[in-house]
């Protein structure tokens, strides 16, 4: 079956042009500048006035299945991904059971095959005790090993330096690290309780002073030093402060062994938003100052930040009750990542051509994903069509996450995702998620 997407503004590999894309079954057959009226096609999509991007690859999501499906699951959150122009995701291991055994990992792949509306993959979780298991991971199936160097529960906090060094020295896969120093955080909590005479919670605006810049920097610098000492391939998740950016190098992605992810929450919000948004924007690492937010935005174009993800983390609203200590951390963001970045482009934060680099090309390159992340002949047809004049307001019923809320509620966006195509099939179109469509397991090149 042949499909043509006609007359879109194609944004891909550093340039924009009006053209058409021909899809045959699952794959892109050709990319044409201008139109092609010389052939007949089974399906024609008129994309006049729309922008065509490679589908977003989100390297950092929490879909809560298995074990936490009362607030989210693979089916619900992959539907949400499709509505946001996200065609592939890599999911984190802190579910129940945690993805710290080969059996738990295989069960997740089975769930993805059954329920995911878009393409899927799953990280393996490191612990203080499972370093030998890392050698058994299939490098063609697993994107990497997640290392929680702070802010975790159960046995997923890797807090022994000898265990950390063994993980960095042993893992055959990329290490994705959550970096916050638990000792500094605990000292900050103790100091706050002393100052406030034993209070067991504090206003959420203090979250960034408890989970402080110092806590992030100490842990990130430890990870960077371990990677340099051992030669490990390190990807630091959700960098949140200007000071941490000093640890990284501005050079081409192909020359880096240490890379950096920013997430939408830290690019969209700052401590000035706590009074209005409250715990809805509480996340770990914490939202930081306006100056930190600006430094992260600047790093989207200066080469320090390599990838933009979401850290999509659904919780029920009643779990967000409390303050800096008691409210759960995390927010559902995957439906709004692409449109948020496009709004930032309109504000002059970054050129529109940089967006697919950060959200599709670089994730595909960094993780060696086979035949995805670019609008190229011979690649899977993972695409999204976006309307620059959609002018819509986020309201209940227009978002799809199972937890039933988003910090973007009532925000107005100029850009709107109109269609998401996954492996050549329409998975989402103008408010409708096509339930019969299923994604494929991502495959990684070992070259």
- In sequence order, the β-bridge partners of residue 120 are 89, 441
Instruction: Give Cα separations from 322 to 195, 261, 280, 332, 444 (angstroms).
Output: 19, 29, 11, 18, 42
Q: Determine the pLDDT at residue 153.
A: 56
Strands 124-125 and 119-122: unpaired
Helix axes 74-83, 102-115, angle to 10 degrees: 50
Pairing of strands 2-12, 15-24: antiparallel
Strand partners, 178: 148
Tokens of 337: 């990542």
Residue 35 has what pLDDT? 73
Short-list 435, 261, 412, 260, CA closest to 336: 412
Are the CB atoms for 55 and 360 separated by under 8 Å? yes
pLDDT at 158: 86
Contacts of 95 (CB under 8 A, 6+ apart): 62, 64, 65, 66, 67, 68, 108
pLDDT of residue 150: 72
Mean pLDDT by 10 residues, the chain (447 residues): 96 97 97 80 95 99 98 98 98 97 98 98 96 96 94 70 94 97 95 88 96 98 97 98 97 96 98 97 98 98 96 98 96 98 98 98 98 98 98 94 97 98 98 95 90
Which pTM was predicted? 0.97
pLDDT of residue 40: 84
Of 172, 28, 336, 294, which Cα lies nearest the Cα of 8? 28
- Confidence (pLDDT) at 152: 56
Adjacent-strand bridge partners of 88 = 57, 119
Q: Which residues contact 60 (CB under 8 A, 6 or more apart)?
A: 90, 92, 176, 237, 238, 261, 263, 309, 310, 311, 312
pLDDT at 134: 97
Q: All domains of the chain, ordered by start, with CATH?
A: 2-52+378-391+411-433 (2.30.40.10), 56-366 (3.20.20.140)
CA–CA gap between residue 10 and residue 31 (Å, rounded) = 9
């Amino acid at each position: 079956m042949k499909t043509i997407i006609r007359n879109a503004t194609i944004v891909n590999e550093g340039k924009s042009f009006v053209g058409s894309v021909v899809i045959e079954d699952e794959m892109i057959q050709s990319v044409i500048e201008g139109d092609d009226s010389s052939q007949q096609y089974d399906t024609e999509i008129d994309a006049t006035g729309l922008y065509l991007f490679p589908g977003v690859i989100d390297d950092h999501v929490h879909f809560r299945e298995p074990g936490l499906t009362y607030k989210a699951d693979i089916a619900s959150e992959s539907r949400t991904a499709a509505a946001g122009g996200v065609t592939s995701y890599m999911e984190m291991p802190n579910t129940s059971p945690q993805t710290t055994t080969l059996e738990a990992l295989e069960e997740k792949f089975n769930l993805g095959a059954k329920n995911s509306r878009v393409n899927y993959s799953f990280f393996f979780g490191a612990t203080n005790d499972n370093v030998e298991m890392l050698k058994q991971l299939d490098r063609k199936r697993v994107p990497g090993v997640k290392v929680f160097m702070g802010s975790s529960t159960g046995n997923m906090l890797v807090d022994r330096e000898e265990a950390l060094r063994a993980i960095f020295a042993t893992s055959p896969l990329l290490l994705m690290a959550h970096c916050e120093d638990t000792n500094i955080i605990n000292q900050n909590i103790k100091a706050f309780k002393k100052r406030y005479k034993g209070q067991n919670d504090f206003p959420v605006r203090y979250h960034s002073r408890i989970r402080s810049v110092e806590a992030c920097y100490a842990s990130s610098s430890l990870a960077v030093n371990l990677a340099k000492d051992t030669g490990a391939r390190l990807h630091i998740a959700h960098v949140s402060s200007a000071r941490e950016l000093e640890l990284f190098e501005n050079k081409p992605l192909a020359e880096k062994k240490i890379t950096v992810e920013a997430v939408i929450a830290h690019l969209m919000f700052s401590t000035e938003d706590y009074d209005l948004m409250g715990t809805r924007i509480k996340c770990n690492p914490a939202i930081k100052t306006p100056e930190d937010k600006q430094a992260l935005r600047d790093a989207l174009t200066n080469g320090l930040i390599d990838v933009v993800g979401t850290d999509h983390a659904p919780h029920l609203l009643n779990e967000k009750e409390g303050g800096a200590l008691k409210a759960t951390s995390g927010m559902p963001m995957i439906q709004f990542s692409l449109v948020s970045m496009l709004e930032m482009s309109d504000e002059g934060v970054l050129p529109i051509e940089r967006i697919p680099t950060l959200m599709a090309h670089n994730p595909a390159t960094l993780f060696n994903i086979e035949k995805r992340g670019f609008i190229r002949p011979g690649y899977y047809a993972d695409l999204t069509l976006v309307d620059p004049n959609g002018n819509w307001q986020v309201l209940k019923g227009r978002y799809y996450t199972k937890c039933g809320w988003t910090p973007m509620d009532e925000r107005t966006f100029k850009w709107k995702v109109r269609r998401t195509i996954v492996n050549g099939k329409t998975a989402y179109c103008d408010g409708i998620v096509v339930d019969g469509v299923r994604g494929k397991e991502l495959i990684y090149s070992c070259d």
